[in-house]
Amino acid sequence: MIITGYILICKNDYKGINFGLIILVSYLIKIQHKSQFYYKNNKNKMNKTLTSIFETQGSQSLNISNQSFSEENLFEDFIDSSFFHQVNFINCSFEECELLGVNFNFCVFEGCTFNHTIIRKSEFTDCVFKNCQFIESQLTPKTNFFRTLFINSQFSSVDFSFTFFCECEFIEINLIKTKFKGTSVVDPKTEKITFNGLEFDKTKPMRIQITDSLFFPKEI
């Protein structure tokens, strides 16, 4: 629109040329300033770490989408009533953290550690845990997993009491000294699960509803 107006001015008289050039140049400078401002803001946004977000905004009532965090060390952090959507956590540590009422949708956890972590009243939907480690963690009570994939991960001395799993997939998982009490597992898909020395290889998809207490032996 600006260029068309400039051409019309040029047809009328030469004095309009300078005026048209001024309008056009001013407009281009304005666009350039906006672009630089947009790039600067988005660059800062891309460079943000989860630790810096906690420091500036706190770790409660967060709403984070379409982000990737790597090599984060979240030691003893308390994350409450927050929402994460399409967030990637790569080689992050949640050691001795507590997650209360946190929802994760379409999130990926790769190479993450959850040692001595407490997760309560939280929900994981369409998430992936790959090469992750849970040691002496508590995922109870009322923590739900829907259509979540666990692959090549280790669970040692983990308490899954009153946790709900629906249509989850477990591939190459080690369950050692793990406690299930009042845990519900519905329509799981499992393959190569090592569980206190027992191995379940290529188990067919099945429907399991565990309503009674289920304990695994403490001795391997």
Token couple for 128: 């992936």
List C-alpha distances in Å: 148 to 55, 90, 112, 130, 213: 30, 17, 16, 11, 23
Q: Which domain holds residue 146?
A: 51-215
Q: Nearest-CA neighbor of 164 among 149, 189, 145, 181?
A: 145
* Predicted structure pTM score: 0.70
88 and 153 part of one domain: yes
147 and 41 part of one domain: no
Residue 220 in domain: no
Residue 83 in domain: yes
pLDDT in tens, 143-184: 999 999 999 999 998 998 889 999 999 999 988 888 878 788
Please report, rounded to a whole number, the percentage of residues in the chain having pLDDT higher than 90: 51
181 and 210 part of one domain: yes
19 and 95 part of one domain: no
Give the least confident one: 11-15, 84-88, 108-112, 214-218. Answer: 214-218
| CATH code of residue 202 | 2.160.20
84 and 101 part of one domain: yes
87 and 188 part of one domain: yes
125 and 23 part of one domain: no
Q: What is the pLDDT of residue 192?
A: 83
Number of domains in the chain: 2
Residue 163 in domain: yes
142 and 86 part of one domain: yes
Residue 141 in domain: yes
79 and 186 part of one domain: yes
99 and 149 part of one domain: yes
Residue 27 in domain: yes
Name 51's Cβ contacts closer than 8 Å, sequence gap at least 6: 72, 73, 74
Write the DSSP symbol of residue 59: S
Q: Could you tell me if 90 and 111 are in contact, meaning their C-beta atoms sit under 8 angstroms apart?
A: yes
Comparing 208 with 154, the larger pLDDT belongs to: 154
Residue 87 in domain: yes
Comparing 70 with 10, the larger pLDDT belongs to: 70
33 and 91 part of one domain: no
Please report, rounded to a whole number, the percentage of residues in the chain having pLDDT higher than 70: 67
pLDDT in tens, 74-113: 999 999 999 999 999 999 999 999 999 999 999 999 999 9
94 and 193 part of one domain: yes
